[in-house]
Amino acid sequence: MSLYGAAAPFQRSYQTQSQKTFLSCGAFNTKLYVYSTSVNPTTFVTQGSLTVNPSATAANCPTNRVLHATGKVLVPGANPGVNVALFGVYDPISGLNGFIDPTDPIFSNYNANMPNQYDLGISSVIATLGGQGANLRVGTDSGRLQPTTINGGVNAGDASIGEVLLYTTGGNTSSITISTTQVTPTSRIFLTQTASIGNSFQFSTLVGGVPAIPTASTIQTGYFNITFPAPVFTGDTRAYNWVVMS
């Protein structure tokens, strides 16, 4: 009699389930393949064919989709028509399945110790990644944003990184509101200065003889403020990179 009793079959199957998952770093509809074989009627040689999954579209193969490995592998030599090792995957959201090249930069290894029947989703703006796609998974870049009014706001859409240029036409800028869907009250915002033509020591207020630097404040769902501790001089051309992490 099994020591596990009735639970034994489940426990055995759980141990053998494929745990490997991949995260798409862009639309992967042209990167999901189906494989088929046929026999040449003249030479009787088995031929293999890789074609893009006909059901795959940019809409149902979007960025940030978690793909679960099925355990199937196509190997060069053993599988005719295959030049690189391809992994079988399926998407629990769309139901699509096929083969991908795991070394393609559009896919990143997604670290998740969960049974493969669960839809893992994305838990943060910057996911836990490894592999080639990790270098691409930084978030959408809004580019340079420039407020049009003093204490104005700029909309970064769904971006999690970007650059903001101070509004300096009227001077006395004290805060800038950046709206982005990637921000929650628990987000952390990082700022780094990227450019300056003006003298950064021209702040009207110094703290201990050192220019008081801008900080991220009022971090709420959908927006955050870059707050300056003192009015900025007219003509200040500093720009700041900002990164949202959750």
CA–CA gap between residue 196 and residue 238 (Å, rounded)? 4
- pLDDT recorded at residue 59: 92
More confident call, 139 vs 55: 55
Phi–psi pair at 111, nearest 5 degrees: -85, 110
Residue by residue, DSSP assigns 185-198 as TT-EEEEEEEE-SS
More confident call, 14 vs 48: 48
CA–CA gap between residue 109 and residue 156 (Å, rounded)? 28
Contact 114, 120 (CB under 8 A): yes
Examine the pLDDT at 149 and tell me if it is beyond 80.
Answer: no
- pLDDT recorded at residue 145: 84
- Of 172, 152, 154, 149, which is closest to residue 228 (Cα–Cα)? 172
- Domain ranges for the chain: 5-124, 141-245
Examine the pLDDT at 96 and tell me if it is beyond 60.
Answer: yes
Contact 164, 216 (CB under 8 A): no
Examine the pLDDT at 140 and tell me if it is beyond 70.
Answer: yes
One-letter amino acid identity for 96? Answer: L
- pLDDT recorded at residue 12: 47
Q: Looking at 73-82, 149-158, 190-199, which range is the least confident one? A: 190-199
What's the rounded mean pLDDT across residues 173-187? Answer: 84
Q: What percent of the chain has pLDDT over 70?
A: 66
Please state whether 243 falls in left (phi above 0), alpha (psi between -120 and 50) or beta: beta
Q: What percent of the chain has pLDDT over 90?
A: 19
Confidence of residue 240 (pLDDT cuts 50, 70, 90): confident
- pLDDT recorded at residue 231: 59
Question: How many CA atoms, within 13 angstroms, populate the side-chain half-sphere of residue 189?
Answer: 29
129-130 vs 206-207, strand pairing mode: unpaired
What's the pLDDT tens digit per position in 30-73? 999 999 989 888 888 888 899 999 999 999 998 878 888 898 99
What's the pLDDT tens digit per position in 114-132? 555 545 444 433 444 444 4
Cα 18 to chain centroid distance, Å, stands at: 23
Q: Looking at 16-20, 40-44, 87-91, 114-118, which range is the least confident one? A: 114-118
